[in-house]
Structure 1
Amino acid sequence: MTYVKPRPGRIALVSEHASPLAELGGPDAGGQNVYVAQLADRLVRRGHDVTVYTRRDAPEPPTMVRTPQGVKVVHVPAGPPTAVPKDELLRWMPEFGAYLARAWRMTRPDVAHAHFWMSGLAALEGARGTDIPVVQTYHALGTVKKRHQGTADTSPPERVDIESRIGRRADRIIATCADELSELVAMGVPRSRISVVPCGVDTAHFAPVPPAGRAPARPRRLLAVGRLVPRKGFDRAIKALKDIPDAELLIAGGPEAPLLFADPEAERLRKIAFEYGVTDRVRMLGRVPQEGMPHLLSGADLVLSLPRYEPFGIVPIEAMACATPVVATAVGGHLDTVADGVTGRLVSPDGSADRELARIVRSLLDDPARRARYGVAGRTRVLSHYTWDRVADAVAQVYGELSTGPVLSGVAR
Structure 2
Amino acid sequence: MRVGLLTREYPPDVYGGAGVHVEFLARELRDLVDLEVHCWGEGRAVGVVRHRPWSALDTANDALRTFSVDLAMAAGLEGREIVHSHTWYANLAGHLGKLQYGIPHVMTAHSLEPLRPWKAEQLGGGYALSSWAERTAIESADAVIAVSGAMREDILGCYPSLDPARVHVVHNGIDTALYRPDHRTDVLARFGLDADRPYVLFVGRITRQKGVPHLLRAVRDIDPAAQVVLCAGAPDTPEIDQEFRDLYQELSRIREGVHWIPQMLPRPEVIQLLTHAAVFVCPSVYEPLGIVNLEAMACGTPVVASQVGGIPEVVDDGKTGLLVPLDDDFEPGLARALDSVIGDPETARRMGEAGRERAVGEFGWDAVARRTVRLYREILKQA
Q: Normalised by the size of structure 1, how large is the TM-score?
A: 0.80
2:315 equivalent to 1:341:
no
2:147 equivalent to 1:168:
no
Partner of 1:5: none
Return closer, same or farther for 1:266/1:161 CA change in 2, 3 Å cut-off. closer
Partner of 2:230: 251
Deviation at 1:266? 4.7
2:76 equivalent to 1:76:
no
2:169 equivalent to 1:196:
yes
Q: How many residues align?
A: 368
Superposition map of 1:9-28 within 5 A: 9-15=1-7, 17-18=8-9, 20-24=10-14
Partner of 1:207: 180
Q: Measure, in 1, the Cα distance between the counterparts of 2:29 and 2:74.
A: 23
Partner of 1:296: 273
What percentage of aligned pairs have identical amino acids? 29
Deviation at 1:270? 2.1
Amino acid of the residue matched to residue 178 of structure 2? H
Deviation at 1:339? 0.9
Q: Measure, in 2, the Cα distance between the counterparts of 1:319 and 1:84.
A: 39
RMSD of Structure 2 on Structure 1 (CA): 3.0
Q: Measure, in 2, the Cα distance between the counterparts of 1:21 and 1:83.
A: 23
Return closer, same or farther for 1:40/1:274 CA change in 2, 3 Å cut-off. closer
Return closer, same or farther for 1:92/1:347 CA change in 2, 3 Å cut-off. closer
Q: Measure, in 2, the Cα distance between the counterparts of 1:75 and 1:81.
A: 18
Amino acid of the residue matched to residue 74 of structure 1? V
1:139 to 110, 113, 121: 110
Partner of 1:313: 290
Partner of 1:152: 121
Amino acid of the residue matched to residue 227 of structure 2? E
Note if contact 2:94-2:137 (Cα within 8 Å) is conserved in structure 1. no
String of CA shifts for 1:359-397, please: whole Å, max 9, x gaps: 222122222221111111111111122121121111111
Return closer, same or farther for 1:378/1:371 CA change in 2, 3 Å cut-off. same
Deviation at 1:194? 0.6
Note if contact 1:230-1:265 (Cα within 8 Å) is conserved in structure 2. no
SS for the counterpart of 1:401 is helix
Q: Normalised by the size of structure 2, how large is the TM-score?
A: 0.86
Note if contact 1:11-1:111 (Cα within 8 Å) is conserved in structure 2. yes
String of CA shifts for 1:240-268, please: whole Å, max 9, x gaps: 2232221111111326xxxxxxx635522
Note if contact 2:4-2:84 (Cα within 8 Å) is conserved in structure 1. yes
Note if contact 1:297-1:303 (Cα within 8 Å) is conserved in structure 2. yes
Note if contact 2:63-2:127 (Cα within 8 Å) is conserved in structure 1. no
Return closer, same or farther for 1:357/1:75 CA change in 2, 3 Å cut-off. closer
SS for the counterpart of 1:403 is helix
Partner of 1:400: 377
Partner of 1:390: 367
Greater share of helix:
2
Partner of 2:82: 111
Deviation at 1:92? 5.4
SS for the counterpart of 1:128 is helix
SS for the counterpart of 2:30 is helix
String of CA shifts for 1:210-245, please: whole Å, max 9, x gaps: 3569x9763221111111234322333332223222
Partner of 1:366: 343
Partner of 1:180: 151
Structure 1 segments unaligned to the other structure (5+ residues)? 1-8, 67-71, 256-262, 407-413
SS for the counterpart of 1:309 is coil
Amino acid of the residue matched to residue 252 of structure 1? C
Amino acid of the residue matched to residue 65 of structure 1? A
Q: Measure, in 2, the Cα distance between the counterparts of 1:362 and 1:173.
A: 40
Structure 2 segments unaligned to the other structure (5+ residues)? 235-240
Return closer, same or farther for 1:207/1:390 CA change in 2, 3 Å cut-off. same
Amino acid of the residue matched to residue 219 of structure 1? R
2:297 equivalent to 1:286:
no
